[in-house]
Structure formats: structure tokens, C-alpha cells
Structure 1
């Protein structure tokens, strides 16, 4: 038996005595965060106790306790991205507000946008490692906003005399809130992992919305109108109803069936992209099956909305894909045909109203000449009265945001045409700026996809985003895009992803860049390598 001698002891305080760890000093960021958290907690508790009823106060404090307990999960940029996208996708705008007594209705999407902006602003002020992410499309957006500002300045005196200056400024403020989603989401997309997380979140959120739209169409029950029974939300107004071909059209979580259909159409190219490049499911065959089912559900949601605008959007997307990537266009047809056949067998009257009505040109044109200037009016019927106003202010319009189409102070009629609305408010100059804002990203993405993309997955993502944005742009002639917030905000989030692709994805060297549609395929890596890189990002 052997014994291991003990090390010799040293007097206390000798050279070998371990020194106690020093207390780590708090950084300015930690101090500022603690002060902010204390002030915010105190304000929430006092506001709840003074202004809210006991039940609402208990609910607010319970929710606050859960937030504190789950702070390591909730206070992350990924959680903020989930909160923002989930609120936009699942809580109908203009229908719910938080039960907080304020001079205005605090809608959930406004609150989440405010949280995102404040969190990012706080991070930029306190985190020295955070850098501004390039937005790529700043110049098209700047041109558009400049044309609106010129319109406001040119009509400033008249707007003040008619008491519409405040209304116009409110329009600018609302547009700023919507556009801030683009900037906020772009700053959150700091890695390819975040990009794929957002795309998968939007895709499966759209799939869930489409599924419940089908349920709404079959059972005439909209589950999104029941959120007030489970969440602390206050109903602002009763939901509307729309019919076509003698049946109710599905609203889902959107403000109107057209907006629902347009949003779902925008997600189709993204779903097809994820069927090949998503990180889950890992097996390629399983992944294609899962996203194939999701695509068919989304098609079903579009059919449930019974929107001819959706047919136009899909037609434009198909045409662009057919010209530039015929294989993708054929894949789109492969998913659409089975759903269309099933829909024709189950709801033939709705399919006839939605799709086959385009074959009857006379009836289609006649339907667009009914009830000029009224809610639900034909779009062609609105052209003549609208153009009479345009002639009065052809270049600068009547002032952006000066038209009021609902309420006791209404001074205009609903157009169902965003381009015509901008022509009336901002004139020909505003329409030109809007065209630059909508079309420049499409051109830039296509050039990147076919000329500069180094990896096939990035070229494919840029192409899918270009198709989606082009489809949304075509819908602007058939609905009020600025008034239907869900579809507009989804467009902003996709535009933020497009900005990441254009500025952060690897590019070819200048000597390698060629304007060749097949170039990305020749220089591509295989799908397994691509997914591995995404997981390591």
C-alpha cells in the first residue's frame, strides 16, 4: 500500500494562497438596464393599480410575473421577432385594442412595433458591438417619401385652410409606423439563422391562418374573432361580412378577404423555397412532403377567400417565374392543380366566380361599373369621378393623407386601388415615387440572383422574394394596400429579408459576375452543405 504525501502547508496569506475573486463592476449598460427595468416595472404596477379594474390588474401583474420568470427566454432578439411576426399574423388589425384607457386605441400591432423600435434603440445606445445593418432599399424608399413630402408642401396652405393638415400629418405618422417594421426587422436579421427562423415563422403562421380560413368557410366560424375570450383584448368594432356567389368569404386574421388572399399568395414562393432549403425537416423527402402539404393548405385558404385579386397576383407571379425560371413555374402549377380540381368538385360556384369569371369579359367588365364611389363599388366605375379630381391637381395631388373615406368626416370615396389613391393624394409625382419604391427592389433582387449570388440557396431566395414582391405590386391596383395592415406588414418583413440577402449574402467577385440565368446553378453547392452552414451560422 502506498501513500500520497500531502502538499506542504503554507502560512495564511503566503505566496500560494488563492486570492478571493474580485467583485465584478457593473457596466454602464447593466446599470442603465437596471434603471430602465425598475422604472418600467414601477410604471406598470402603478398604472395597473390605478387605472385598471381588479381583474385586469391581476391579469396584468400575473403576466408581468411570467415575463420576469421567463426573462432569459423572452428578452432575446429571436423572441422579439416571434412576438412581432405573431402579432401581425394572428391578431386582426383594426378589430382589437388593449384595454388601457388612452386617448387613442392601442392596437396590439402598434404596441409590438413600439417595443421593437424601443428595444433596438436602447441596444444601439448601450451596446457598442451592435452595428447598423444596411437596408439596401433606402434610396427607393427615400424617393417615395420625398414625393409625398413635396405633395404635402405644395398643398400646405390649402390643407391648413380646409382643416386637413392634421389629417395629412396623421397619414404620415401611420405610414411611418408601418415602414418602421422594415427597418426593425432588418436590424434583427443579423445572421442566416435569424433569416431562416423568420421565413419559417411566417410560412407556418400563414399555413395556420389558411387552415382556419378553410374552417371559417366551411363552418362559418372565425376563430380569430374569439381571441378576446382568451387574451386581454378589447373589441373595437364588429367584424364585417363579405359574400360572393351566394356564400360568405373567409376573413381569417385579415381585415378583408382580398387582404387575406394577397398575403397568402405572397407566401407561396417562400414555401416553395423552404421545401428545398429549410433546416427542418432534415430529410429532403420529408421536407418536401411537409412543405407540399403546407402549400396546398395555403392554396385552400386562398380559395376560401374567393378573391379574383388573388388570381391576378398568382398570374403575375407565374408569368415572371415562367419567363425566368420555367421549372419553378411548373412546380407552382403542380401544387395548384390538385387544389383547384378539389375546389371545383367541392365549391364549384365559388371557383366559377373566382377563376372562370375571367373568361366572361363582358360580365367581368360590367361588374366593375356598379355603385361608383360607394363601398364595394366597381373599380372601373370609380375611375371617372376619381379622374375629375385628379385633373384639378395632376402633378402634386391634393396632399398625402388628406382623403378620409370612413366616418362622419369622410371627404372621399373608397377606391380599392392604392395606385389611384396615391395619384389623387400625391399626383403623378407620387405615383412615380411609389413605382420606384415597389419595382426597384424586384429588379435589384433579380440582378443579384442571376448575376452576383455565389450560393444557389441565396440566388433562389432572392428570386423567390422578387416573385413575391412582384405579385404584391400587381395587387396594388385592386385593393387599398396602406389600409390593410397585415399584408403590408408582411410585405415589409419580406422586404427586410430581401435587404439581408442583397447586402449580407456572399457575392461573386467582379470578374465572376455574369448576367446568366443558369449561372447560380453551375456555381451552387449541394443542399446538405447549405443547410449545414445555416445551422452553424
Structure 2
């Protein structure tokens, strides 16, 4: 049988194609300086004329810092770092830029619009920059079509209820949200950038978790005070939630449930990086460092006091046992002492999070509370929601028809994304949702046991993303996942890593070079029998 040798991994092979030489560097440099001067003058004059003195000073300071760090910021890696920082540290629907507009200009929207424009311009104008295949285009296409078709089907009803503009706004919002996946995938050109993204997400999540732990103790959320030193305008009041005899942490998320689910996803990534992360180089030190990160992430999950997180972690653990039994047993052995210590130190928290599952009657009763009111239990919402779904079974009431916040509110939050999709887009929308969530996970699972079978580094990353997808899919039944953008954005970024694995990683390139198709197994190199045995 023909053997396929995996291409050697080195920095030169992964480097971006060099830009074509410029004939007259001085002319280009002068043009750039002129453009930069015009932009700086425009920003300065606009800030002075239209913004309060403090906000104007903040904008000018930001521009100055941006100029000093221009080489790092105005690069694709720098842009990805800015996106990660904004997503992880600036709460959605809490702040807007202090610019007088008819709508609230949130920071993440500005970053996404700029990156989307820059990506489109680079693909159109830079011949050396190719379109990087996304692997999951068809599941996303099915999901988008399933959601969009509900609008014309319900067009008359939407117009009669003055919801036509809301439907259009929902479409624009979905384009912007899903662009996170495409933007991230286009930036992930090398394995170094991929590993940097994974490490960046984990360590940003670790910082958020550490501050969330402090928040539960002090009831002070640093993320709700960013306007004290950043030019941001507060557009929503602080929220409070209590459980297990204490304050539930929000961190940089919109809700404690969203915080806990996001941290759960990053726990799996941190465990992977403990084995294959780039730094620290020493394997023992790397396991210690990322072990500390996992402990902090779990502490952040506990500070949110969310039973949804326990369900998500349980599903991720079961998938680990199924896909990597020895790893699952090892994690279980390490988790037992931590569970015993946690129960002794935080008895109320562990009783609420774990003990409540053993009191089945009380657990069911808690899900029937406040029927017919905002914040009702999930089971209390189930019967009326299914009755409404029966009236519009196939295409729902139309994308954008359910407004759960603000003065125009016409529906309650269901804490169930699948049920919410059923009401808004019908059974067709649920089929699209299933394709969007399940198909990429299945594709990565097949790839891990075929193309990457003899390269554990990539196979384990694919299986880690499968486990993440399983956890996120489980969470869809317990909170309105697509309304909590931070968690959704983190999931889309990890999905982009999966797209890189299936299309541009060494195993994928080896399979393609062999002419066997993207998902067909490549034989291990003859000189590396140890890989065959370890697989």
C-alpha cells in the first residue's frame, strides 16, 4: 500500500505568501503618511466637536496608542487578538461607544464590521491572499436557509404586526454574528496562529474566571466598571442574581449561565493545551500551568452557580469517556479529590449544583415556578410554547418575530434555544439548527479517526472540538444560546479551528496530496512506528 509522508512542519512552510515588490517605496510611504494624517485629523476634529471632553480625550489617547502599536495592531494576528479581547472582556449589551447615532454602537459590532470589510478588501484586492476553505459551509448554509425561509412565509403577519423592520434587523444581525466564523477562519493561515488563538481564549477565560471568583466574594464586577477608564457609554443597568446563599457571578457575560457555559467550553481546550500547547516547552511545567488554569476555570464555573454548567460538564465527560477512555478515567481520578475538597469548603454551592439533582421532585417543581411570568421555569414555559408551535408547525412565526427584551417585548425568554427556534422558524428551523450544530461535530469525529488517525496531536484537537460541540449542543436545551453572544462567539472561533483542521492542517494536506479525498485515512510514516502503536 502506498505510504503518505506528512509534510514537515516548519515556520517557512507556513509563512504567508510574500507581497509583490513595490517599485517606488518613497511614493507609497508618502501616500500612507498623507492618508494617516487625514484620518487622524478627521478623528480629532470629530471627537472635539461632537464628544464630551472626557470621551474626546479617551478617543485621542486610544488613537495615539493605536498609532504607537500600529505594527502589531494592523496585522491579521493583531486584528484577531483585538477581536478576542473585545469578545472576552467587554460585556455585550452593556456598553456602547459615545457617538450620537440612531442606534447603540456596541464595540463588538464596530470590530466585526471593520474586520469584515478588511477581509473582503484583502480577498478582492490582494491576489496573493487566497480564500481559505471553511469546511462547514454547507451546514451553515442549511441553517441560514432554514431561518430565512420563515420570513417570506410569514411576511404578511410580520408586516401587520409592524415587525418587518425587526425581521430585516435579525437578518443583518445574523450576518454579522456568523461573520465571526468566516473572519477567524480566513485569519487562521498557520498552525502557530491556531495554537495562539486557543491559548489566547484559554488565558482570557482564565482571567475572566479569576475575576468572577473575586466578584462572588466582593460583589464587585470589574467588567461593569470599564466606563471608568474607557470611553464607553453605559446602556444597561447592573444585574443581580443570588443562589446558594451568595451572589452569582456575571463576569464579562450577559448572565451567569452564559458565563458558566463559556468557561466549560474552555476547560476542554485547556486540557488539550496541557498536552500539546506551545508554552511552556517543558511538558511537566506545561501540565502544571494549564492544570492551574483548569482549576481557575472550574472556580469561575462554580462562582456562577449554574446547574446548566453541571449538565454541560457531565455531557463533555461522558463524551471523553467514550472517545478517549483512559483520559476520561484519569480526569475522573483527578476530579474526585477536588470534588471532596470543594464539598467541604463550599457546601452550599455543591449542594445546589450537585445535590439538587438527587432531589428529583424538588428539581422538577423548581422548573414549574412562575408560570406565565417573566423568568418562569423551563417546564412551565414548555406547554404553552408547544401549543403555539402546533399552530405554526413548519415555519414558525418568522425570524425576528419574538422580542424578549426592551419596550417592544412580546415574548418571554424560554431558556431553551431549540424551543425558541421551533417557535420562530418552525420544524424547518430546528432541522437547520441540527445541521449547524451536529454536522461539523460528525465531520470532525470522522476526520479524527481517518485522516488524523496516526497523528495524535491533530486527532486529539479534533476530538476536543467534538467534545466542545457536544457540550454546547447540550446547553442549547437550557439557555437561549444564540442570544448570549460571548459564548456563541467563542464557539464559532473554535469551530473555525475545526475548519482549519479539516482543510489546512498537515493530515488534511497529506490526504489531499495523496489524492484520496479529504476524509480518507493516510498511512503513518514508515519511520515512525511509535505513532502507529500510540494511535
Asked if Structure 1 and Structure 2 have the same fold, meaning a TM-score greater than 0.5 normalized by the shorter chain, the answer is yes
> Rg bigger for which structure?
1
Report which stretch shifted further, 453-462 or 394-403: 453-462
**Whole-angstrom distance in 2 between the partners of 1:29 and 1:352:** 66
Partner of 2:493: 493
Q: How does 1:419-498 map to 2 (within 5 A)?
A: 419-453=418-452, 454-498=454-498
Cα 1:522–1:259, aligned 2, differ >3 Å: closer, same or farther? farther
Deviation track 1:448-497 (CA, whole Å, cap 9, x = no partner) reads 11111152211111110110111011100000111111100001110111
Q: How does 1:307-346 map to 2 (within 5 A)?
A: 307-346=306-345
Report which stretch shifted further, 57-66 or 407-416: 57-66
Cα shift at 1:157: 1.3
Cα shift at 1:324: 1.6
Report which stretch shifted further, 454-463 or 55-64: 55-64
2:66 partner SS: helix
Deviation track 1:294-344 (CA, whole Å, cap 9, x = no partner) reads 111111111111111011111111111111211221233244334322321
Deviation track 1:147-202 (CA, whole Å, cap 9, x = no partner) reads 11111111011111211111111112212211111110111100000000000000
**Whole-angstrom distance in 2 between the partners of 1:275 and 1:236:** 39
Cα 1:104–1:337, aligned 2, differ >3 Å: closer, same or farther? farther
1:472 partner SS: helix
Matched, 1:55 2:54: yes
Q: How does 1:39-50 map to 2 (within 5 A)?
A: 40-50=39-49
Cα 1:366–1:32, aligned 2, differ >3 Å: closer, same or farther? farther
Query: Contact 1:343 / 1:351 at 8 angstroms: preserved in 2?
Result: yes
Cα shift at 1:513: 4.5
**Whole-angstrom distance in 2 between the partners of 1:31 and 1:499:** 40
Partner of 2:12: none
Cα 1:398–1:279, aligned 2, differ >3 Å: closer, same or farther? same
Partner of 2:15: none
Cα shift at 1:66: 2.4
TM-score (norm: length of structure 2): 0.89
Q: Which runs of 5+ in 2 are unaligned?
A: 1-21
Query: Contact 1:320 / 1:467 at 8 angstroms: preserved in 2?
Result: yes
Cα shift at 1:503: 0.8
Q: How does 1:74-473 map to 2 (within 5 A)?
A: 74-453=73-452, 454-473=454-473
Cα shift at 1:523: 6.8
**Whole-angstrom distance in 1 between the partners of 2:420 and 2:474:** 15
Cα 1:462–1:103, aligned 2, differ >3 Å: closer, same or farther? same
**Whole-angstrom distance in 1 between the partners of 2:26 and 2:470:** 47
Count of residues in Structure 1 that have an aligned counterpart in Structure 2: 501
Query: Contact 2:323 / 2:463 at 8 angstroms: preserved in 1?
Result: no
Q: Which runs of 5+ in 1 are unaligned?
A: 1-22, 528-537
**Whole-angstrom distance in 1 between the partners of 2:111 and 2:533:** 38
Deviation track 1:83-106 (CA, whole Å, cap 9, x = no partner) reads 100110111111111111111111
**Whole-angstrom distance in 1 between the partners of 2:226 and 2:87:** 14
Report which stretch shifted further, 121-130 or 477-486: 121-130
2:300 partner SS: helix
Matched, 1:524 2:531: yes
Cα 1:440–1:31, aligned 2, differ >3 Å: closer, same or farther? farther
**Whole-angstrom distance in 2 between the partners of 1:85 and 1:481:** 19
**Whole-angstrom distance in 2 between the partners of 1:344 and 1:475:** 24
**Whole-angstrom distance in 1 between the partners of 2:338 and 2:252:** 22
TM-score (norm: length of structure 1): 0.89
Cα 1:133–1:301, aligned 2, differ >3 Å: closer, same or farther? same
Cα shift at 1:257: 0.6
**Whole-angstrom distance in 2 between the partners of 1:87 and 1:238:** 20
1:524 partner SS: helix
RMSD of Structure 2 on Structure 1 (CA): 2.4
Cα shift at 1:29: 8.4
